Structure 1
Amino acid sequence: MRFMVMVKATGYFEAGIRAGKEHSAAKDAFLHDLQDAGVFQSAEELLPSSSGLRVVFPPGGGAPAMQAGPFLPEQEWIADYTVIDVDTEDEALKWVLRMPLPPGQGEHVIEVRRLASGTACALDARAQTMKADLQDQLSLLHP
């Protein structure tokens, strides 16, 4: 089962205040642990909502409205996410409880949600590129 682990942004994150080298090292170590366990799928950090754009589709149709960030805090910003592939929700929660969080930046919220099966390509971009390169090389050998 694949789960998306979403780290909600704080006011510190939105203001561009980073947690520092110790937190970055702890986060890198955590991601390495996920890789070693064979459950890591992907991870990315987002930019603050001030760099974002939101498209709002009105109920009943009509032209969508564009909204530039920053967005209101009650709309729950997301700072980063990690996708893991584990056997159970309990296993996903065990990984979340190990996730390092920056100290001294208030309350942190992490949301864990199971991804719908079959809606995403299982191959990452590097694997797709390697597959295409291999097919190109094979076509040279057997025209």
Structure 2
Amino acid sequence: MTRTAIQKPDYEAELRKAGVRITRPRRIIVGILTDTEDHPDALEIFRRAVAIDSSISLSTVYRTMKLLEGLGAIHRHAFEGGPSRFEQAGGDHHDHLIDIETGDVIEFKSDRIEQLQNEIARSLGYDIVHHRLELYGRKCKVK
């Protein structure tokens, strides 16, 4: 089982291609998204943006996230018990393990899990066209 590697996206190019103007607040927001390796929610993105420029509004963050999601540049995840969180789209398929105590989201890839899912779908007469696996857990206590 491996953790997935993240390739840096070019969100500004995606927005320009869609004819969206790149304002200073948007540039800051996409810079935060480009540099992040976690799965922040909109409020966390807002906190990081305001630390750079206090004039950025939460609504600007929401609008920018909605634009990027609509362009297919980011994915929105609604992990159980929390606000929607975001990650870059594209790249290799991966699954998520969510730490229920810290909220940390760990990306991983398992060929065994993928093979088992395909076997199950085939045995039921289906081909998988899309799936999302989310595991919820807490760190094992060492004795």
Task: Quickly name the TM-score band, shorter chain normalised.
Answer: under 0.3
Q: When you count strand as a share of all residues, which structure comes out higher?
A: 1
TM-score, with length taken from structure 1:
0.26
Q: Which has the higher contact order (CA 8 A, sep 6+)?
A: 1
